[in-house]
Amino acid sequence: MIEVKKSIETGQPRGLFDILQQLQNGSYGATQYHNVYHVNANSGKDSYNKGAGKSWDRAYKTMVFALARSGENISTSDLGYGRGWSARNAVFAQGTFSEPLVALADKTDIIGCGEGITMTRLVGTHVPVSDAYATRLINLEFRDDGNAGTCFTHASGTIEFHNCIWRPVISYAPAVALALTNPTGITISNCQFLPLLTTPNSTAAITIHLTDAVQSCRIENSIIHGATGIDITVDGTHTYCDCMIINNIIHATTEVIDDASDDWYVINNRMISDGVVASMIDANAARAAGNIMAGSDSARTYPFAVTS
């Protein structure tokens, strides 16, 4: 945290100050990091020796290199303070990274230190191969690299997204912004899944596929655009436990939510479809409350308000 404080004092972007405040207030569940690594896509170097990654002056250049260093550090048996596996690291990032995320790092917060149009940007088709444990991605912008498929795919493992944006490239919108398989403890909070002008993700903004037991998932306080907003599919034995879609604004050309499991709670969302209201949601009404829907023909609550 000392290095983070120094970064603020030397005039780093306001976004870093906002993130620090939230960390100190416990918003991300961390008040102290064991190690903080810096990575700058514009001026960094992966070849630094002394003090490598420990300050903006000695920042790494590539995300893959910085994450590898954090992963190696967090996996060691003795981190110097007797905390071992209970420790958490952070990677602070600036610039535009034209590299796919091929692997994440356990118990590491990846935090973008830009904001607005200078938000830290990761361009590529991101398919990290590791089932990272408790990785958090914060204040980042994801852009696809033109393959028209899925921008970010993650299978298994605990992962969180906070204050992130999925923004299509200028020429087209990809099929899916974020695809997850068997996510446990997934959190998508205060994120935006943006369309290309009026063209949303052609399949869905978020797809979730389940083949196993899953629990404690949250999609909350986000703005979601897609042909389908959130598409949840199942294959074989499945159990969702305490999974919620809550307090979102969802705009879809067809269904705002298609939950084939009928297990997710759908609470206090504002949902808009270009289709008729009768076919804009497929979810378990017995697990829904306080939702408002607007279709091309009418508006109503979900589930229906019942008067005696």
The domain limits of the chain are: 1-113
Instruction: Give the model's pLDDT for residue 7.
Output: 45
Instruction: Give the model's pLDDT for residue 277.
Output: 94
Instruction: Give the model's pLDDT for residue 30.
Output: 47
Instruction: Give the model's pLDDT for residue 129.
Output: 79
3-state secondary structure of 24: helix
Q: In what order do the strands lie in the sheet with 265-267?
A: 36-40, 89-94, 108-112, 135-138, 159-162, 187-189, 218-220, 244-246, 265-267, 288-289
What residues contact residue 253 under an 8 Å CB cut-off, 6+ apart?
200, 226, 227, 273, 274, 275
Whole-prediction pTM value? 0.86
Cα–Cα distances in Å, from 45 out to 64, 70, 271?
12, 16, 46
Average pLDDT by stretches of 10, the chain with 308 residues: 45 50 50 86 85 90 93 68 70 93 91 81 87 88 82 85 88 83 87 84 89 83 96 78 92 95 94 95 95 95 71
Instruction: Give the model's pLDDT for residue 220.
Output: 98
Cα–Cα distances in Å, from 295 out to 213, 236, 255, 271, 275?
33, 33, 10, 9, 6
CA nearest neighbour of 136 among 244, 195, 218: 218
Going 121 to 127 to 130 to 136, the CA torsion angle's sign is positive
Q: Which neighbouring-strand residues pair with 176?
A: 150, 204
Q: How far apart are CA 164 and CA 43, in angstroms?
A: 23
The angle formed by the CA atoms of residues 180, 86 and 152, to the nearest 5 degrees, is 20
Q: How far apart are CA 29 and CA 83, in angstroms?
A: 16
Q: How far apart are CA 298 and CA 295, in angstroms?
A: 5
Instruction: Give the model's pLDDT for residue 10.
Output: 42
Q: Position 128: which residue type?
A: P
Q: Under a CB-based contact definition with an 8 Å cutoff, are residues 62 and 42 in contact?
A: no
Q: How far apart are CA 102 and CA 144, in angstroms?
A: 14
Instruction: Give the model's pLDDT for residue 237.
Output: 67
Pseudo-torsion of CA 7, 9, 13, 16, nearest 10°? 60
Q: Which neighbouring-strand residues pair with 245?
A: 219, 266
